[in-house]
Amino acid sequence: MVNSPRVVIAFDFGLRNIGVAIGQEVTKSASTFYVIKAKEGEPDWKELDIIIEEWNPNLLVVGDPLNMDGTGSNIKKRSDKFAASLKNRYGIDLHLMDERLTTKEAAERIKSPSTGLKEATNMHSISAQIILEDWFRSFG
């Protein structure tokens, strides 16, 4: 029996915005999806339920906010809580992916005229895309 390629959704956690990117293993490509509004890191779960139901992912990837020396950042505890909530709510396999330097790369992509992106809120969706691209390169 042949396994079908997995759909993977990645998240870049933030206290006010959580970026979402979607990809699949055939092309190992990731696309920005959009940003879910959050209040103190708590997402709009109904909005997230719709995304999960529509895309039916096989794997969730959450950016792991580490400092450059590998220690946990100030936001790591809240990000880990978000990841645990995703796992408990949806029962989908979940992987944490090192997200060091994704914000810097996202800022560079926003500055590029070829992206057509200008809003700072796009930073989280682009960061989620970078997290997923990194995951595909490392594990996909």
Domain ranges of the chain: 7-138
pLDDT along the chain (140 residues), means of 10: 78 93 84 87 94 95 87 88 97 90 67 56 82 86
| Residue 131: predicted pLDDT | 92
Give the CATH H-level superfamily of domain 7-138. YqgF/RNase H-like domain (3.30.420.140)
Q: How far is CA 70 from the centre of its chain?
A: 19
| Residue 139: predicted pLDDT | 82
User: CA–CA distance from 97 to each of 13, 83, 89, 117 (Å)?
Assistant: 12, 11, 20, 24
Cα(8)–Cα(134) distance, rounded to whole angstroms? 12
